[in-house]
Structure 1
C-alpha cells in the first residue's frame, strides 16, 4: 500500500461524507463553542458564523484529498489558516481541535468506511503539531516589473491617479497589455492578498485594490489593437463558488488580443448557464478557473455538466488558477488540459496547440 491509498476514498464514501456535511459542521462548531465559551462570548454572534465557515472549508479542502489521495493541498490550507487565525488572536489549539472533532463525528457516522477521512484529518493534525509554514499561494509568481511595488501601494491607498500613471508607464514601455497585467497587476495583487493573510490590510482595502485593478485593465484594453481574427473561439468562466475572477480576466484579455473570439462570463457562473452559453457559442476551448482547493468542487461539477450535456460536441476543456499552479497534478483528476501558470503562457500554449 502506498501512502496515498491511506487517504483515498471510493465514490460512495465521498458521497456519504458530502451528505453529512451540514451535520459535521454543526457538530464541530458546537464542540468549539463548548471548548472556548469565553472567546465566543467576547467576539459575539459573528464568531459562531466564522467558526462554521472555517469548518466547512476544512471539508471543502479535504474532498480533493479523498478523491486523489494527495494530502499536500490540505496541509497547505491548514498552514495558511493557522497563520490567519494566529494573526487575529484565535487560540492556536482551536484548529487541530476542530479536526479532531470532525474525526469523532465521521467515525461515529461511517464506522470502518471513515478510515480515509480519519487518516487525512489525523495527518493534518500531525502536520500542524510539527509546525506548518504558511504556504505561498502566489508561487510561482511572475517576475514583477519595476512599477509593481509602488502600484500595489497606490491601490491599497486608494490613489487611483498614481496607480493609473504607473500602469500606463509599464504599458507604454512594453506595448503589451497581457504582459503589463501579468508583471505589474498580478504581483501587486498577490502582495495585497499576502498582507490580508497577515492581517495587515482589511477586506475593504483588498476589495478596493481589486476593483481599481479591474478598472485599469478595462481602460488598458481600450488602448490596444487586437490581432486579426484567427478563426478560433474561447469561452472563460469561474464556476459557481469562485468569486476570484481577475486572473481569468487576464487570460481572456490575452486570448482576445492574440486574435481569438472570446466570451468571458466572469465569476460564480452556474453550471446550467455555462453549458447553455457553450452550446450557443460553440467555442473551440473552454477555460475554467479555481483559485483555492475548496473551489475545486464547483469546477468538477462544471466539467461534469459540460461533458454530460454536450457529449461528443464538448470543446477542449482547460483548467487553471492558483490551485493548479501549486498542485498541477490535480488537473489530471479532471481529465482536462493545463496550459500555463499565467495569462501569457496559457495564450501562447493554446495558440501553438491549435496551430498544429
Structure 2
C-alpha cells in the first residue's frame, strides 16, 4: 500500500461522519425527488449509508486493493434492486460522495479516494440488467429444511437431517448440501427484506443445534496430532461458516479450538501462542474486517517461535483472488470444504 493510500484511508475513517454529512446534503440539494422518496428521515438515512461506504472505501485503500470498493458497490446495486430502491439513487449518491471528496480532500491525495469511486460509477453505469442478490437457487433439501423451521417445527427439521447420519462422510454431506446452502438462502432473503430478525434467529439457533449433533456423530477417533485455532475477526458477528470449518477439522482428527465471533485482535494472537496452534483460520465478511485480519497476522508474526500458518476465508476475499497474499496470509479457503486439505498441505 502506498503512503498516500494509507494516509487517505486513515483520513476517511477518522472523518467519515463529516464527509458523509456533506455528501448527503449535496445529494439532497441536487435531487429533491430523493428527499420526497426517503422523507421524513432522508438526510439521516443517506448520511448513514454514505458513512458506511466511506468505511468500505477506507478498508479497500488500507488493504491496497481499491478494486474491492467497486465490488462492494456492484453488490450494493443488486441489494438496491432487490429492495425495490431506484438504482439511480445509488449512482446519484456515489456522484455526490465523489464530488465532496474531490473538493474537501488535499489536492495531492484526492485522486486516491476519488478514482475508486469514479471506477465504481463507470462499472455500475455500464452494467446491464440488474440481478437480484444471490440468484442461485438453493438445493431442494436446504429449502425443505428452512420451510420446516419457519413452519414452527425446528426439532423436526433437525431430526430429518441428523437421523440418518452415522459417519463423518455423511455428516459432511449434510453440511455441504443442506446447512451451508440454507445459510446462503437466509442471507439472500435477509438482504432482499423477505426475512424478519426473529425468523433469522430461529433458523440460526436451529442450525447451531444441528451442527453440534452432526459433529458429534462424525467425530474421528484418530488424531493428526495437530491443532487448529479458528475465529471470526473483530466486527464479524457471523459464526456459522467458521463453526462449520471447525467441525470439519474435528471430524478429520484435528484438535479444533473455535474462539467464535467478533474476537479482538490481541485475543486471537495470544490464543495462537496459548494453544500452540499449527494453523489459524480467520473469517472476514465485510471490507472493514480486513484491517483486523491484517493486524492479527502482524501480531502473530511478532511471536517468538511462531509456527502457525494462517488461512483466511469469507466473502470479502472472493472478488480478488490474490487479496489473501496482499494481507500476508499463507492460504485462502474459498469454500468450507477447502480448509482442511489446505491446512494439511501447509503443515506437511
TM-score tier, shorter chain, comes to: 0.7 to 0.9
Please point out which of 193, 200, 204 is paired with 2:187. Answer: 193
Please point out which of 334, 348, 351 is paired with 2:327. Answer: 334
1:266 offset after TM fit, Å? Answer: 0.7
C-alpha distance in structure 1 between counterparts of 2:125 and 2:139, whole Å: 39
CA offset digits 1:16-39 (Å, max 9, x no partner): 333332322232334445544334
Partner of 1:122: 118
Q: Does 1:178 align with 2:172?
A: yes
Give the SS at the match of 2:261: strand
Give the SS at the match of 2:107: helix
C-alpha distance in structure 1 between counterparts of 2:234 and 2:215, whole Å: 26
How many pairs are equivalent?
A: 343
With 168-177 and 256-265 compared, the bigger mean Cα shift is at 168-177
Over the aligned positions, Cα root-mean-square deviation in angstroms equals: 3.1
Partner of 1:346: 339
C-alpha distance in structure 2 between counterparts of 1:282 and 1:32, whole Å: 53
Partner of 1:254: 248
1:148 offset after TM fit, Å? Answer: 2.1
Give the SS at the match of 1:288: strand
C-alpha distance in structure 1 between counterparts of 2:346 and 2:90, whole Å: 45
Contact 2:208–2:240 (8 Å) recurs in 1:
yes
C-alpha distance in structure 2 between counterparts of 1:264 and 1:159, whole Å: 29
Give the SS at the match of 1:287: strand
Partner of 2:223: 229
Partner of 1:19: 14
Give the SS at the match of 2:260: strand
1:320 offset after TM fit, Å? Answer: 0.9
With 107-116 and 296-305 compared, the bigger mean Cα shift is at 296-305
Unaligned runs of 5+ in 2: none
Contact 2:166–2:218 (8 Å) recurs in 1:
no
TM-score normalised by length of structure 1: 0.84
Give the SS at the match of 2:217: coil
Unaligned runs of 5+ in 1: none
Contact 2:81–2:132 (8 Å) recurs in 1:
no
C-alpha distance in structure 2 between counterparts of 1:9 and 1:109, whole Å: 12
CA offset digits 1:303-326 (Å, max 9, x no partner): 233334x25526211111223234
Q: Does 1:147 align with 2:141?
A: yes
Partner of 2:281: 287
1:188 offset after TM fit, Å? Answer: 1.4
> Structure 1 residues 110 and 159, CA, compared in 2 at 3 Å: closer, same or farther?
farther
Contact 2:166–2:217 (8 Å) recurs in 1:
no
Contact 1:177–1:220 (8 Å) recurs in 2:
yes
Please point out which of 289, 300, 304 is paired with 1:306. Answer: 300
> Structure 1 residues 147 and 154, CA, compared in 2 at 3 Å: closer, same or farther?
same
1:287 offset after TM fit, Å? Answer: 0.7
Give the SS at the match of 2:331: coil
> How is 1:51-130 mapped onto 2 (pairs within 5 angstroms)?
51-63=46-58, 65-67=60-62, 70=65, 72-107=67-102, 108-130=104-126
C-alpha distance in structure 2 between counterparts of 1:253 and 1:131, whole Å: 40
C-alpha distance in structure 2 between counterparts of 1:8 and 1:39, whole Å: 41
> How is 1:37-52 mapped onto 2 (pairs within 5 angstroms)?
37-42=35-40, 44=41, 50-52=45-47
Contact 2:162–2:213 (8 Å) recurs in 1:
no
Contact 2:171–2:215 (8 Å) recurs in 1:
yes
Contact 1:235–1:285 (8 Å) recurs in 2:
yes
With 117-126 and 48-57 compared, the bigger mean Cα shift is at 48-57
